[in-house]
Amino acid sequence: MTPTLDRLLQSIDAKRDEVVALTQDLVRIPTINPPGDAYEACAHLIGERLARKGFAVEYVRAVGAPGDSDSHPRTNVVARWQAPQPGECVHFNSHIDVVEPGPGWTYEPFGGQVANGRVYGRGTCDMKGGLASSIIACEALIESGLPMSGALEISGTVDEESGGFAGVGYLAERGYFSKPKVHHVIIPEPLGVDRICLGHRGVWWGEVETRGRIAHGSMPFLGDSAINHMSAFIHLLETQLQPRLQGRHTAEPVEPPGARVSTLNINSIHGGQVEQRYSLDERGWPTGDLPAPVVAHLCKAVLDRRFIAEENLEAVKQEIVDMLEELKRTRPGFDYGIRDIMSFVPTATPKDAPVVDATARAIARVLGREPSYIASPGTYDQKHIVRSGKLRDCIAYGPGILDLAHQPDEYVGIQELVDSAKVMALAALRLSSPAHFG
Binding site for Zn ion (CB under 5 A): 126-127, 189
Residue with smaller CB distance to Zn ion, 161 or 311: 161
Nearest to 92 by CA among 360, 390, 423, 436: 423
Residue with smaller CB distance to Zn ion, 40 or 189: 189
User: What's the Cα-to-Cα distance from 71 to each of 35, 67, 325, rounded to whole Å?
Assistant: 10, 10, 45
Given the residues 68, 153, 159, 160, select the one marked as catalytic. 160
Work out how close the CB of 189 gets to Zn ion at its nearest, in angstroms, rounded to a whole number: 5
Q: Is 144 exposed, middle or buried (0-12, 13-18, 19+ CB in 10 A)?
A: middle
Task: Give the whole-angstrom CA distance, residue 361 versus residue 372.
Answer: 12
Residue with smaller CB distance to Zn ion, 73 or 123: 123
97 catalytic, yes or no?
Answer: yes
Work out how close the CB of 186 gets to Zn ion at its nearest, in angstroms, rounded to a whole number: 14
SS3 381: coil
Task: Give the whole-angstrom CA distance, residue 350 versus residue 70.
Answer: 41
205 neighbors 341 (Cβ within 8 angstroms): yes
Q: CA 87, 176, 379, 402 torsion: positive or negative?
A: positive
Task: Give the whole-angstrom CA distance, residue 77 versus residue 409.
Answer: 28
Residue with smaller CB distance to Zn ion, 189 or 252: 189
Residue with smaller CB distance to Zn ion, 126 or 159: 126
Work out how close the CB of 124 gets to Zn ion at its nearest, in angstroms, rounded to a whole number: 12
Task: Please give the residue whose beta carbon sits closest to Zn ion in the complex.
Answer: 126
| Amino acid identity at 155 | S
Work out how close the CB of 135 gets to Zn ion at its nearest, in angstroms, rounded to a whole number: 16
Task: Give the whole-angstrom CA distance, residue 176 versus residue 241.
Answer: 40
314 catalytic, yes or no?
Answer: no
Given the residues 37, 68, 88, 97, select the one marked as catalytic. 97
187 neighbors 396 (Cβ within 8 angstroms): yes
Work out how close the CB of 126 gets to Zn ion at its nearest, in angstroms, rounded to a whole number: 4
Phi, psi of 196 (to 5 degrees): -115, 120
Catalytic residues: 97, 160
